Amino acid sequence: MREHLRGARNIVVKVGSALVTKNGTGLDKAAMADWARQIAALRAAGKQVALVSSGAIAAGMQRLGWTKRPHEMNRLQAAAAVGQMGLVEAYEEAFSQHRLHTAQILLTHEDLADRERYLNARSTIKTLLELGVVPIINENDTIVTDEIKFGDNDTLGALVANLIEADLLVILTDQQGLYTADPRSNPDATLVSEGHAEDRGFEAMAGGAGSGISKGGMITKVRAARRAARSGAHTCIASGQEPDALVRLVSAEPLGTLLYASDTRLAARKQWMADHLQLAGSLIIDDGALAALRNGRSLLPVGVVEVRGEFERGSVVACLTLTGEEVARGLVNYASSECRRIARQPSHMIEQLLGYADQPELIHRDNMIAV
Ligand SMILES: Nc1ncnc2c1ncn2[C@@H]1O[C@H](COP(=O)(O)OP(=O)(O)O)[C@@H](O)[C@H]1O
Ligand SMILES: N[C@@H](CCC(=O)OP(=O)(O)O)C(=O)O
């Protein structure tokens, strides 16, 4: 499987707080310079590389002279806003040594949940990559609240991999890779060399974050690998301290843990729907509709017994069984208020009930994925 990594052309590299910030004591500029050197080498070999980097909060704390990480959201956000400047400055400086420009991209969950913003983010990042610029991506901590944040940058890294259809996601961290158990508390744990990203067994091995400044831990990395695999990207989890880790991984050296993707790729649109962590609403469907969906058919208004939430036409909504189990999600053809009026009705009644008729389906099968 490792041999496939040689052919990777679009690569997302994620570096975690634990690495970038020397465990919270400020930015590790020597390490950042070294990753920049390696990314420049990959670029010179014809690869396109986007960098997802954490570290804003820790860098901001240092600039503000704070020794203890605050708990209040507003102070964390303030620190991130100050620190993001230092973070991108340090990267700009590091990459300029290799005559590469950088660009700052700050994203929230909502940006990728909205189809238009998703498409804009995608086209901007792809254009930057084509221009030879290295996008430096982080979560937009200034405006995120619990409901709209990615929560950790591993998830963000996977979503960026989906967004630009990367073929490889490299997650650099402070461990050699995924171990059979958290090596901090299990000295006998052994390194997993490779496995299938969809293998649920890996989640059981992975634990939470190792240090106070990191958010995700290994479990978010394993989940990120699964998410990245959905758009066909393999994931490598490796140590950012390992000399030349990036260059060696792409030369198929057996470093860290490779969690590989299967060959099946969902179409980009279906991928975008699968990645919705938050849904605009839900449609409760009856058993007849459930059977139709299971046979790969579209969802008609007649099979919908209840509409939950407020949403617009084109939103992504969940299809739930009568017992509340999500069986599918898709792009809905009518707004929630309209769905309520045509629920339980045959499609030929749509025009009479709404005064106009769009499609006869509430969700067309081409715009739906089973979950
Ligand atoms: N099975 C495991 N294998 C390796 N590391 C693990 C495992 N389970 C938990 N961890 C912890 O995850 C930490 C890495 O995650 P995290 O601290 O969030 O880093 P980052 O900031 O790079 O995202 C490691 O330091 C380790 O303590
Ligand atoms: N956006 C935050 C980082 C979030 C975070 O800690 O993520 P991770 O490195 O995955 O544990 C920052 O720049 O400080």
Residue 270 has pLDDT above 80, yes or no: no
CA of 184 to the centre of ligand 1 (A): 9
**Does any ligand 1 atom lie closer than 6 A to the CB of residue 19?**
yes
Give the neighbor-by-neighbor strand order of the sheet with 102-107.
102-107, 134-139, 48-53, 10-15, 168-173, 234-239, 257-260, 194-196
Residues 26-83: tens digit of each pLDDT = 899 999 999 999 999 999 999 999 999 999 998 999 999 998 889 898 999 999 999 9
Residue 269 has pLDDT above 70, yes or no: no
Same domain, 199 and 348: no
CATH label of the domain that carries residue 313 = 2.30.130.10
**8-22, 146-160, 192-206, range with the lowest pLDDT:** 146-160
Q: Binding site residues for substrate, as ranges?
A: 54, 141, 153
Cα gap 103→88, rounded to integer Å: 8
The mean pLDDT value of the chain amounts to 90
Residues 291-314 have a mean pLDDT of 94
**Does any ligand 1 atom lie closer than 6 A to the CB of residue 253?**
no
Residue type, 205: M
Percent of the chain at pLDDT above 90? 68
Tally the domains of the chain: 2
pLDDT of residue 357: 85
Same domain, 259 and 283: no
Cα gap 36→296, rounded to integer Å: 47
Q: Does an H or E element contain 344, and which?
A: none
Residues 188-199 have a mean pLDDT of 95
Q: Are 347 and 339 in contact (CB under 8 A)?
A: no
CA of 144 to the centre of ligand 1 (A): 24
Same domain, 211 and 104: yes
pLDDT class for 256, splitting at 50, 70, 90?
very high
Domain encompassing residue 110: 2-271
**Does any ligand 1 atom lie closer than 6 A to the CB of residue 211?**
yes
pLDDT of residue 112: 85
Same domain, 225 and 309: no
Distances (CA, A) of 316 to 104, 172, 343: 28, 32, 17
Q: Which of 139, 154, 175 to mutate to test the pocket of ligand 2 (most atoms within 8 A of CB)?
A: 139
Same domain, 219 and 175: yes
pLDDT of residue 278: 75
ipTM above 0.90, yes or no: yes
Same domain, 74 and 175: yes
Q: Which ligand lies nearest the alpha carbon of 222? A: 1
CA of 179 to the centre of ligand 1 (A): 9
pLDDT of residue 268: 55
Q: Binding site residues, as ranges?
A: 14, 54, 141, 153, 173-174
Residue 236 has pLDDT above 90, yes or no: yes
Which alpha helices (H) appear in 170-257, and where do they start and end? Answer: 201-205, 218-229, 245-250
Residues 92-145: tens digit of each pLDDT = 999 999 999 999 999 998 888 877 788 789 889 989 999 999 999 999 998 888
Domain boundary among 271, 305, 339: 271
Give the neighbor-by-neighbor strand order of the sheet with 368-370.
304-308, 281-285, 316-320, 326-331, 368-370
What global pTM score does this model have?
0.78
pLDDT class for 157, splitting at 50, 70, 90?
very high
Same domain, 52 and 128: yes
Same domain, 113 and 254: yes
Same domain, 83 and 37: yes
Domain boundary among 225, 247, 271: 271
Domain boundary among 210, 242, 271: 271
